[in-house]
Structure 1
Amino acid sequence: MTDILKCVGMKDCQPLITPISASKTTVFNVDLYDDATQYRSLAGALQYLTVTRPDLSFAVNQLCQHMHASIISHWEQLKHVRRYVKGTTTYGLRIRKSLSRELHAISDSDWAGCPEDRKSTSGHAVFLGSNLISWVCKKQRTVARSSTEVEYKALADVCVEVSWIISLLREIGVTGVSTPRLWCYNLGVTYKCANHIFHARTKHVEIDYHFVRDRVANGDIHVNFISTNDQLADIFTKALPGSRFSFLRDKLQVTTLPCA
């Protein structure tokens, strides 16, 4: 983190409390940034940093979508992220011994959140006991026609991840892991996972629908509703105000770590 700040002369910059602004009044400058190589290098370095800093995932995901043609506003957003990094250089992902072997995951998605192509961003967080062990922030490849469609896609993605983690845990001899519990704040999606009658209304999400529902029917996973206030995956799908961002960051166990 210190190296990232040093290479652009921002070691002593003023820190910020969030990596991306939630303000809707940000001035947008569409002029091309004159040093594309520098932009790509720094965005790539930040992407590497997300390996242990899930709180940076959404902001860095947004920046990396413009590698091919970055504009001055994208560079300003990149500086914003670095100023947040400046204020959190002692932060990292805390992993602690946990007596619980409960596997649970939370998925979320916005709907048509990208103003350029109206594609959605989905994300999920997977916990083993109290520890965050897997997370994703990803822009969906196709434009969704409904919020139900994007939520099903996000749910299907986390279902794949959880299935792989279960397989890995079995392979390395970890026993006593509970049936995974997936949490989703879209109530309609949770109903459809357990009720095949709804299928005719969502034919355009047929593959994801059947994939998730088959695992629910087999008892491989449980899908439950979670309220918006408890939706930890919000941090992977949208820009948030400072207080909400800090709350979710703490829940993901990203906190100040003791010096080695």
Structure 2
Amino acid sequence: MTIPQGYEELTGKKVPPGSVCRLHRSLYGLKQASRQWNHKLSAVFFNEGFVQAHADHSLFVKTTSTLFLAALIYVDDILLVGNDEAAIAHFKYVLEAAFKLRVLGPAKYFLGFEIARNAQGISLNQRKYTLELLQDAGYLGCKPVTVPMEPNQKLSESTGTLLPDASVFRKIVGRLLYLTHTRPDITYAVHKLSQFMAAPRSDHLTAAYRVLRYLKNDPAQGLFYSSSTDLALTAFSDADWATCPDSRRSITGYCIFLGDSLVSWRSKKQPTVSRSSSEAEYRAMADATCELIWLTSLLKSLHQSPSGPATLFCDNMSALHIASNPVFHERTKHIENDCHVVRERLQSGFLKTMHVKSEHQLADLFTKAVQPNVFKTLTSKMGTHKLFIPS
């Protein structure tokens, strides 16, 4: 660390030019501080018999034949769950002995997420966060719209004029990205907008404001996780071939359910140009398969296992044939080996693939801006719910 101002006057010692301080402990604000804090906090968990999950290093689990405790950590915020009140109370005491601690009781608000529980399950939403976003943007009294993006809208790097102040656009999109944790319905629109952070234009800002108008329609919409669901993993993958007007790369979209609860979803541009729609769909299947592998590992960290092989739905028969048929094909020999994780997991019995009609393809919501009637149908099957209707 550089020598603090006033050090020489306070100590009376002359410090040679170029000298630095060697610290005996970490200080707040250093680049090493967060790692040192995590190391110290983790040591307390390890001393109490917790094991750090390989699938997620922010998750710590402690189990015996009768006990289950799990703690989820974000810096210095901790969620603790378990089946034994005495064990939970004991660990709170351990934490209070090691750190200055504030126990807030049953989880109702965590990192911008509002949590509600009843006998049927748990709901998550970001209503307060959404209303603050609308207020800061001046859109709290705007006229709502029914879809976050105009159907089949094609934004590109050259549409509109350059914004004189890009910070307005970047701030909105940055906050929208965090909102996608409970709003799968805006994921595609936000993914599309995030591609123009470097040089946003007027059309991009207009599209961002439309997302805000959509949020005004249902600011408290969120996800519901049923307490009676089974542990079957079901995935839907889709791709929109060569849809990017600037790079001609395809868009991957997938969503994954644990029982009837949506637990993972994504919309992303593929890293390379695909030579056919089948290739684009196969790449999307590979991404969904990798996410299924990770979710299975996460369940095992919680000492749970999926009830049978994971099911992956795709609406492209050619991609399904590529996955299930290990024969060398002239038209597919150029596809990278990592995409064949689908074929490998099929052969091992981890995964089974099934065809789904395009009108029932839930992942379509993550690859393009669809018509309002299609949007309404697909979002109704996502497990989202509405807790609040604005007046």
Q: TM-score range by the shorter chain?
A: over 0.9
Query: After TM superposition, which residue ranges in structure 1, 4 or more long, deviate above 4 angstroms?
Result: 23-26
**Residue correspondence of structure 1 range 1-260 to structure 2 within 5 A:** 1-22=130-151, 30-175=160-305, 177-257=307-387
Q: Distance in 1 between matches of 2:225 and 2:154?
A: 38
Give the TM-score normalised by structure 2: 0.63
Partner-residue secondary structure (3-state), 1:191? helix
Structure 1: which 5+ runs fail to align? none
8 Å Cα contact 1:155-1:184 kept in structure 2: yes
Give the TM-score normalised by structure 1: 0.94
8 Å Cα contact 1:152-1:208 kept in structure 2: no
Deviation, 1:100, is 2.0
Root-mean-square deviation over aligned CA pairs: 1.8
8 Å Cα contact 2:233-2:310 kept in structure 1: yes
Q: Which has the higher strand share?
A: 2
- Greater radius of gyration (CA): 2
Structure 2: which 5+ runs fail to align? 1-129
Deviation, 1:176, is 5.2
Cα deviation digits, residues 29-82 of structure 1 (max 9, x gap): 521112201110110000000011011100000111000000000010011100
When structure 1 is superposed on structure 2, of 236-245 and 199-208 the one drifting more is: 199-208
Identity %: 38
Q: Distance in 2 between matches of 1:25 and 1:99?
A: 38
Report the number of matched residues. 258
Q: Which has the higher helix share?
A: 1
Partner-residue secondary structure (3-state), 2:162? coil
Match of 2:17 in 1: none
Q: One-letter code of the match for 2:136?
A: C
Cα 1:53–1:167 shift into 2, 3 Å: same
Q: One-letter code of the match for 1:39?
A: F
Q: Distance in 2 between matches of 1:240 and 1:90?
A: 22
Q: Distance in 2 between matches of 1:199 and 1:206?
A: 13
Cα 1:54–1:38 shift into 2, 3 Å: same
Higher relative contact order (Cα pairs below 8 Å, separated by 6+ residues): 1
Q: Distance in 1 between matches of 2:385 and 2:324?
A: 37
Deviation, 1:190, is 1.1
When structure 1 is superposed on structure 2, of 192-201 and 165-174 the one drifting more is: 192-201
Q: Distance in 2 between matches of 1:66 and 1:25?
A: 13
Deviation, 1:221, is 0.5
Q: One-letter code of the match for 2:379?
A: R
